[in-house]
Structures are given as structure tokens and as C-alpha cells.
Structure 1
Amino acid sequence: MYDDYPAMALAQLADLGIVKHGEMAEFVEARLLEDQWPLNTSGGMLSAGQAGAGAGLHGLVEAATQLLGRAGNRQVVGARTAVVSGYGMVVARYGAAANAVALAAPC
């Protein structure tokens, strides 16, 4: 998830239909905290610094690295699919420029 701010990553999960609006607290507790659901496995932009226009590639490179099984100690075992999102120019919580792509591991 594009994470220029942590709240934006959560907003995108809802906007993509991964989490129902109004169920975010339950999702964070059950999936992210208890199940350790993989989200921004590279640490996201918040740990690497915003790369400006190149920021969208940060998530794409990490997704490809995971799906190719080359992520080293942060590898998600059995990773077969990934979703990469971009969310820019936030206007009243909604991205005025947003995108998402789903990727699958090579056969």
C-alpha cells in the first residue's frame, strides 16, 4: 500500500474492498497484529523515505521481489499474489490520482 501516511494505507485497504468500511479496527487487530498479515513487507516508504515521483516503483519492486522469492529474511513464504497501490494528491481523504495492480508469481 502507498504509505505516505499510515492512515492512507488503511484507507486504500478499504477503497480496494480488502476491508469493509467500518471494520478497520477489527482488521488491524486480527489480520495485522495477530495473524501478522504481510503489508508493506519492505517497510514501505515510511522506512525508506519518499522518493517523489519514483515512489510508486518502491511497492512494485518489493512485490516482484516477493513473488520471485528473492526477498531474503523478509520473504513471505508461499507468496503467489501481490497488490500494489498508488495514492496521490489526497483531497478530503480520497486520492485524486490513484491506481492499483494485482501481480501473480510466475508459474
Structure 2
Amino acid sequence: MRHRFPTPSVSVLLLLLSSIFLLSSISSRFVKAEVITLTSETFNDKVQEKDTAWFVKFCVPWCKHCKNLGTLWEDLGKEMEGARDVESLKTFVLQETEKAATKAQLDNDGEL
């Protein structure tokens, strides 16, 4: 029997891999990373700040796939404190992707 990952895990993988490319482009900078909740009032000012890079997650509170990502964003912020080590980040992202794929497979739900 052939096992196939549901579509959401592929989406999660693509999202996380795109974050690697974004973060690798700024890997030489030494900046403390933190998770900030952006609002309609702060979004434009924050993401247009000079010498900053943003990884923005758009989600809705009722989306179970967003919920499956759990504390990924807080964990990513903690991993990115201090020097940005792309190899460590790659390992972190791949581990989180595997967790999300396993959870999606266990849920056995192909809905988006």
C-alpha cells in the first residue's frame, strides 16, 4: 500500500521552505528576532522599516491547519535570537515540517 501525504503537509512544507530562503538572505546580520502580532494599524510601518526582514504569517483562528503549526512562530523567533545560523534553521524547519506532516497524516484529512 502506498502512503501519500495529504495536501496540507505539502503546503506546510512549501511555506517553511520559503522561510528558509527569506531568512538565508539575511543570515549574515546579527539581529534579535521576536514574534510580533501585526495589526492593521502597525502592519505598513513595521514591514517597511529599513534594515529589517519580516516573515509574516497570515491565518484565521478557525483554520485547523494554522492551529497545527502550533507554536512554530514563537519557536522560530527563539531559534533566530542572536546570530542567524542557516544550517541550524534548516534543521529546525525540517523537523517542524516532519512533525506537521506526521500530524496531518494522523489526522488523515485532506481538507484545506
Q: Give the TM-score, by structure 1 length.
A: 0.32
Relative to its length, the structure with more strand (as a share) is: 1
Which structure has the higher relative contact order (CA within 8 Å, separation 6+)?
Answer: 2
Relative to its length, the structure with more helix (as a share) is: 2
Q: Give the TM-score, by structure 2 length.
A: 0.31
